[in-house]
Structure 1
Amino acid sequence: MKGLHKVIVQNNRLHYEFEIKRNITIIQGNSATGKTTLINMLRQAENLGESSGIDISCDVPCRVLEGRNWKVILENISESIIFIDEENTFINTEEFASAIQGTDNYYVLITRENLYNLPYSVEEIYGLYSSGKYQNTRKIYQQMYRIYSGENFMPVEPEKLIVEDSNSGYDFFENVSKENQMECESAHGKTKIFGMLQKDDERQICVIADGAAIGAEMNRLYKQCQKKKNIHLYLPESFEWLILNSGILKEKLIREILKEPENYIDSKDFFSWERYFTRLLTERTENTYWKYKKSRLNEVYLHEKNKNLILESIQGIKFGDSKGE
């Protein structure tokens, strides 16, 4: 499934309205914010139809997945938005992660847990709030808000970089760090970043990681940033996205994709957007001067002009005399 899908769930008392554009969306938040009520309304509409008094408006079916037979039920659902409540503990399992990979559905998971088996985006973690724009009506309007915002920790002029991967992204930022007398260290994976931030270090530290798949780590990383004001997070979709976004490859198609990637990325083919951008960059540079390999960076990207284009596209970080601010 592709595209952005607007969902409206309402009865005579409540109105939920939000948009879903990736294969995995997380709704978090405290009790009494309307999460369970949303699931109950969807379930009633599915079971009772019009007699439920609940109206669901969406261009694709909205379904609730639950119970012991979830896997069998899932096998018979396609091209749908599937809602799952946290009471269904199977969402924490590797079995569930394996079952939804390669399916053509979108999944909205309502949970306060960190789902380490799933690669979900920092941008698709939401809470629910009651909108004030309809204060003069008796109906309560529920909307989603993004929980994590990179604006809380920027701008920064770092003295040390911690880079999630040990491949091309690390090669690039290690080169930049050497030129600017900074330390650059690879975390060798997103799960190890938090441990590295536990060290006693007073320098200005900037973590650069793939925002497209780091969602499960965000709760503890965010708290660490609030606790230690010298820690900052920069979370683009991926390093490959940074290159594509820099304008180095002057292709109209790439510009169009970056404006609305949800219209090009099929959930059946790509478990996370990070994988799509890697494929896109690799394919568009095959047999060219710009040939990209994830394992080791092509030195053309380190040529002064190209390197500066990438750095200038990075918002919120100042690298020495670069324009990335």
Structure 2
Amino acid sequence: MKGSYEITVSNAKIHYNFTIRRNITIIKGDSATGKTTLVDMIRDYYEAGDDSGIVLICERTCRVLEGRNWRILLDGIEKTIVFIDEDNSFLPTNEFAEAVQKSDNYYVIVTREGLPNLPYSVEEIYGIRESGKYASLKQTYNELYHIYGRTDYREPVKPEYVIVEDSNAGYEFFKGISKREECSVISAGGKSNIFGELIKSRAAQILVIADGAAFGSEMDRVMKLIMRRKGIVLYLPESFEWLILKSGIAEGKELKTILEKPEEFIESSEYLSWERFFTNLLVRVTKDTYFKYSKRKLNEVYLHENISPKILRDMVEIEL
């Protein structure tokens, strides 16, 4: 399944309206914020239709997945927007993560805890904001990068310590373009190791570079650390490959259109997260060219003084 879908759910008392555009959407928030009410309304409409007193408008079928027989039920669900409440014990399991990876559904998951087994985007984590009888999803983390601990941020950030999620081409690039002797660049060797690297470092100014397309499960604990400790900057593009594609270096007939609306091109049954799609796209459009890309080892042409600044154009106010 691919594309974006607007969902409107309402009854006589409350109205929800929101749009989802990736295969995994997370709804967070404390008790009594309307999360469970939304799931209940989806369930009631699926079971009773118009007799439920609920109006649900969406191009796709919406239903709830729950209970001990979730796997049997999921095997029979296709091209559906599946809602899951947080009290289901299967949510954090590897079995569920594997089932999501193999399906062509979209999932809207209500949870207060991170789900490290699932690679979901920092842009698709929402809270519910209520206003009178109307409720809508508001993004909890709604930018590609965030500056925490400096509310009066004015000057360019000059990190002493840079932690790169990637251990391959992305790390080699940021290590290679760093010109300041006082700036150390290290690889975390994966998103789950970033928190530990932050804890270990005593640098006053730290920059974290990670794939925003899959970093969602780490945001809770990293944010809590940032609230206690100043000087940590998060730079979260979709992925390193997305930065290259967006730079204009690579050429392709549909490239601009794809980057403007990736959700229209990314099939959820093929790509569990968007960074995998962008990697495959970059490999494809640079094949047999001077810019041939490999994730395992960086093509040194990307470090050229005329090329690297184009890749870094979106990295505003951060100086390496």
TM-score range, shorter chain: over 0.9
The yes-or-no answer on 1:37 pairing with 2:51 is no
Report what 2:282 is aligned to.
Answer: 281
Shift in alpha-carbon separation, 1:314–1:200, aligned structure 2, 3 A: closer
What is the identity, as a one-letter code, of the residue corresponding to 2:303? L
Between 116-125 and 154-163, the greater mean CA deviation after superposition = 154-163
The yes-or-no answer on 1:300 pairing with 2:301 is yes
Of 115, 128, 141, the match for 2:134: 141
The answer (yes or no) to whether the contact 2:63–2:80 under 8 Å persists in 1 is yes
Report what 1:258 is aligned to.
Answer: 259
Report what 1:323 is aligned to.
Answer: none
Q: List per-residue Cα deviations over 1:204-237 (Å, max 9, x = no partner).
A: 1100001111111110111112221111100111
Q: List per-residue Cα deviations over 1:60-119 (Å, max 9, x = no partner).
A: 000111111111111111111000001111011000001111211000000111111111
CA distance in 2, matches of 1:22, 1:28: 16
Deviation of 1:288 after TM superposition, in Å, equals 1.1
Deviation of 1:287 after TM superposition, in Å, equals 1.2
Deviation of 1:203 after TM superposition, in Å, equals 2.5
Q: List per-residue Cα deviations over 1:265-316 (Å, max 9, x = no partner).
A: 0001000001000000001111111100000000110111101111123234
The answer (yes or no) to whether the contact 2:211–2:238 under 8 Å persists in 1 is yes
Q: List per-residue Cα deviations over 1:172-198 (Å, max 9, x = no partner).
A: 000112x22221011011111101111
The answer (yes or no) to whether the contact 1:22–1:106 under 8 Å persists in 2 is yes
CA distance in 1, matches of 2:292, 2:247: 16
Report what 2:240 is aligned to.
Answer: 239
Deviation of 1:46 after TM superposition, in Å, equals 1.2
CA distance in 2, matches of 1:203, 1:32: 39
Report what 1:195 is aligned to.
Answer: 196
CA distance in 2, matches of 1:128, 1:84: 16
Report what 2:292 is aligned to.
Answer: 291
Deviation of 1:252 after TM superposition, in Å, equals 4.3
Shift in alpha-carbon separation, 1:189–1:258, aligned structure 2, 3 A: same
CA distance in 1, matches of 2:283, 2:201: 39
CA distance in 2, matches of 1:317, 1:223: 22
The answer (yes or no) to whether the contact 1:102–1:270 under 8 Å persists in 2 is no
**Unmatched runs of 5 consecutive residues or more in structure 2:** none
The yes-or-no answer on 1:81 pairing with 2:85 is no
- SS of the counterpart of 2:90? helix
CA distance in 2, matches of 1:162, 1:77: 40
Report what 1:19 is aligned to.
Answer: 19
**Unmatched runs of 5 consecutive residues or more in structure 1:** 320-325
TM-score by length of 2: 0.94
CA distance in 1, matches of 2:236, 2:157: 13
Report what 1:322 is aligned to.
Answer: none
CA distance in 2, matches of 1:269, 1:226: 37
Report what 1:47 is aligned to.
Answer: 47
What is the identity, as a one-letter code, of the residue corresponding to 1:10? S
The answer (yes or no) to whether the contact 1:162–1:187 under 8 Å persists in 2 is yes
CA distance in 2, matches of 1:38, 1:191: 31
CA distance in 2, matches of 1:315, 1:36: 39
Between 202-211 and 5-14, the greater mean CA deviation after superposition = 202-211
Identity of aligned residues (%): 53
What is the CA RMSD across the aligned residues, in angstroms? 1.3
Between 225-234 and 28-37, the greater mean CA deviation after superposition = 225-234
The answer (yes or no) to whether the contact 2:10–2:56 under 8 Å persists in 1 is yes
Deviation of 1:250 after TM superposition, in Å, equals 3.7
**Count of paired positions:** 311
TM-score by length of 1: 0.93
What is the identity, as a one-letter code, of the residue corresponding to 2:140? I
CA distance in 2, matches of 1:268, 1:238: 20
What is the identity, as a one-letter code, of the residue corresponding to 2:15? H
CA distance in 1, matches of 2:70, 2:97: 13
CA distance in 2, matches of 1:315, 1:89: 42
The yes-or-no answer on 1:102 pairing with 2:110 is no
